[in-house]
């Protein structure tokens, strides 16, 4: 991946719907170059897909929490399908340290969040959880 690829990915992170011609003008290169680069980045797996990033109007009523989860030894394979089936679990990362998983959980109300946290704690193989409710977002460089 070279500098042009990095600039192209950065431009797409700002506006994934930008047409190739607009990206080419912004990057000072030919439209065919942009199209070829996009195809190569997609084929190589550097770009896995294009998505929608929800704005404040769509997420304002969502309550988010990070949930740290300790799993019994060798139980992760049984825990993951149960977590994947829970719509409130948006993201799951394996981690090092005291906890085995870090989850991003979202709900429409504190009552729904409480239910989701209880459901996570009841999954066979989960032995410990710690929840951190998100109050405000100060930095978000996810894209």
- The Cα 34–Cα 19 span in angstroms is 10
| The pLDDT value given to residue 15 | 85
Structure confidence by residue, pLDDT tens digits, 21-45: 999 999 999 999 999 999 999 999 9
Give 83's pLDDT tier (boundaries 50, 70, 90): very high
Which domains occur in the chain, in start order? 3-44 (1.10.10), 56-133 (3.30.70.920)
Question: Is it the case that residue 78 has pLDDT exceeding 80?
Answer: yes
Asked whether the whole model's pTM tops 0.85, one would answer: no
pLDDT > 70: percent of the chain = 92
Q: What is the 3-state secondary structure (H, E, C) of 57-82?
A: HHHCCCEEEEEEEEECCCCHHHHHHH
Mean pLDDT of the chain: 90
Mean pLDDT of all residues in 58-79: 89
């Amino acid at each position: 991946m070279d500098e042009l690829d990095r600039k192209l990915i950065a431009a797409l992170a700002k506006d994934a719907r930008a047409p190739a011609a607009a990206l080419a003008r912004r990057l000072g290169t030919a439209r065919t170059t942009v199209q070829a680069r996009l195809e190569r980045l997609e084929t190589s797996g550097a770009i896995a897909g294009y998505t929608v990033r929800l704005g404040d109007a769509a997420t304002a009523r969502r309550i988010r929490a990070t949930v740290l989860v300790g799993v019994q030894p060798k139980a992760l394979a049984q825990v993951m399908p149960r977590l994947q089936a829970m719509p409130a679990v948006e993201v799951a990362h394996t981690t090092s340290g005291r906890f085995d998983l870090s989850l991003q959980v979202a709900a429409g109300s504190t009552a729904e969040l409480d239910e989701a946290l209880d459901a996570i704690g009841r999954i066979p193989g989960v032995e410990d959880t710690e929840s951190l409710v998100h109050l405000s977002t100060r930095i978000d460089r996810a894209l």
